[in-house]
């Protein structure tokens, strides 16, 4: 046996070539990204924070792009997340709603909001909903179960 044939022969005794991909690091990266998304997802949820009154209510089914009007505890009216004055709201709301093309109007009022501030918003929303032939609803927090 020559020296060259011994080298070839010793290679045949080695382990076979493994063509599998090691996915351990891929799984580690995937789980890391999953944890990052789980932590950041609640921060991405937008909206105005108001303390909704508690009542016995049934959950509603959400539509793709809800049209939400909010009144905070200082009496500021928000269309979506944009603050507007009560006078601007009463005059501009019908056009804003038509431009949005929504099928339902949701109204959120902080439990500390003054009745008069909320009443102005509710009357404007009710009038617009009647004129446009759409529905409107008040949003609230469900009472905690005992």
DSSP letter for each residue of 14-44: SPPPP-----HHHHHHHHHHHHHHHHHHHHH
**Residue 78 is assigned to a structural domain of this protein:** yes
Q: Where are the alpha helices (DSSP H) in 79-143?
A: 86-100, 115-132
pLDDT tens digits along 88-107: 888 888 888 888 888 888 89
pLDDT tens digits along 40-76: 887 776 666 777 777 776 666 655 677 889 998 888 8
* Residue of higher predicted confidence among 4 and 107: 107
pLDDT at 20: 80
Instruction: Over range 112-118, report the average pLDDT.
Output: 86
pLDDT at 10 over 60: no
**Residue 76 is assigned to a structural domain of this protein:** yes
pLDDT at 99: 86
**Residue 66 is assigned to a structural domain of this protein:** yes
Do 134 and 62 fall within a single domain? yes
The CATH number for 101's domain is 3.30.420.270
Do 78 and 126 fall within a single domain? yes
Domain enclosing residue 109, as ranges:
54-142
Do 19 and 79 fall within a single domain? no
Tell whether pTM > 0.75: no
pLDDT at 104: 86
């Amino acid at each position: 046996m020559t020296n060259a044939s011994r080298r070839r022969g010793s290679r045949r005794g080695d382990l076979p070539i493994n063509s599998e991909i090691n996915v351990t690091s891929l799984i580690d990266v995937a789980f890391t990204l999953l944890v990052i998304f789980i932590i950041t997802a609640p921060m991405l949820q937008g909206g105005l924070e108001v303390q909704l009154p508690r009542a016995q209510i049934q959950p509603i089914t959400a539509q793709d792009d809800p049209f939400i009007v909010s009144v905070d505890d200082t009496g500021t009216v928000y269309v979506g997340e944009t603050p507007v004055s009560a006078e601007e709201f009463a005059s501009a709301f019908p056009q804003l709603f038509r431009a949005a093309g929504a099928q339902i109007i949701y109204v959120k009022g902080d439990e500390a909001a003054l009745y008069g501030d909320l009443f102005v918003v509710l009357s404007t929303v009710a009038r617009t909903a009647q004129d446009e032939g759409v529905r409107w609803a008040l949003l609230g927090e469900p009472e905690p179960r005992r």
